[in-house]
């Protein structure tokens, strides 16, 4: 026997003839929104989603979700991109709620053909919320005047530096109703006959445990990602985490040397972190 034949005999050729099934895992952890290096957005995840569907011997896509929600637009964009590729590639999608998959986080879970959670996971919150701050009184005490000029009577909407305007509240409520209807349409489309309760009980913004969500038809089962994937595709299944590309050296200028952090950028980052902290706090986390 030649040296080449000896090497070929020792190679695990069976793995090449029958490669193990692979499941691409996309992890969505955090607040959904268009801005920030950590925010869950289509811009940040588009490449990772594309790569996930290109894996060799791909059997399924698994979405690991731990999100209290955020931007309905980004939730919709992410969900639509995943569904488009799932239909093109004819690959099933599974979603696994961890601590929280609520509001936009649950909207994202609707990209899956089947949704799973733990008994104590928090899901649902099928509604729309808008939070802001009011600084009008603080400005008055400081002797600062807010001067706002617009062309078009509806150009400004609930400026936080001015007193609340009833007309502005009415306009915001109308916008929220439209967004809520879009959310409800998505749930109806994706869950359909699986829903086991009246819409008044499902679509009022209530938060449910995984156990309760299963009884209501909002999810398909109780279980974790690794366990369910091994049940479906065997113990040899390979779970491949596909992560978005990280932005390298964000504090470097385009010429290569460190740039001074912009004070406005820092302020917006602090406010974003505060808002994120408040949203997570609603779920006791």
Query: Active-site positions?
Result: 103
For 230-245, give one letter per residue: b (16+ CB within 10 A) or e.
eeebeeebeeeebebe
Residue 26 · residue 61 · CB < 8 Å: yes
Tell me how far apart the alpha carbons of residues 162 and 146 are, in angstroms, rounded to a whole number.
Answer: 7
For 158-189, give one letter per residue: b (16+ CB within 10 A) or e.
ebeeeeeeeeeeeeeeeeeeeebeebeebbee
Query: Beta strand pairing status for 122-124 and 207-209?
Result: antiparallel
């Amino acid at each position: 026997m030649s040296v080449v034949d000896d090497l070929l005999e020792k190679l695990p050729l069976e793995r090449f003839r029958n490669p193990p099934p692979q499941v691409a895992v996309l992890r969505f952890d955090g607040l959904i929104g268009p801005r920030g290096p950590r925010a869950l957005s289509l811009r940040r995840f588009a490449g990772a989603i594309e790569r996930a569907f290109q894996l060799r011997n791909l059997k399924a896509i698994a979405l690991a979700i731990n999100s209290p929600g955020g931007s309905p637009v980004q939730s919709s964009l992410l969900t639509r991109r995943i569904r488009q590729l799932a239909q093109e590639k004819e690959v099933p999608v599974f979603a696994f709620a961890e601590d929280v998959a609520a509001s936009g986080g649950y909207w994202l879970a609707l990209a899956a053909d089947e949704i799973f959670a733990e008994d104590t996971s928090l899901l649902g919150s099928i509604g729309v919320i808008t939070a802001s701050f009011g600084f009008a009184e603080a400005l008055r005490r400081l002797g600062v005047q807010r001067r706002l000029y617009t062309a078009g009577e509806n150009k400004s909407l609930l400026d936080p530096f001015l007193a609340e305007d009833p007309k502005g509240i009415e306009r915001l409520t109308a916008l929220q109703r439209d967004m809520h209807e879009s959310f409800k349409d998505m749930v109806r489309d994706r869950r359909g006959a699986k829903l086991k309760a009246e819409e008044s009980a499902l679509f009022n913004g209530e938060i449910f445990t995984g156990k309760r969500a299963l009884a209501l038809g909002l999810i398909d089962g109780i279980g974790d990602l690794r366990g369910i994937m091994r049940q479906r595709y065997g113990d040899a299944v390979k779970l491949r985490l596909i992560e978005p590309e990280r932005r390298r050296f964000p504090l470097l200028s385009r010429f290569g040397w460190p740039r001074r952090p912009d004070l406005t950028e820092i302020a917006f980052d602090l406010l974003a972190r505060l808002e994120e902290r408040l949203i997570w706090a609603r779920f006791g986390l």
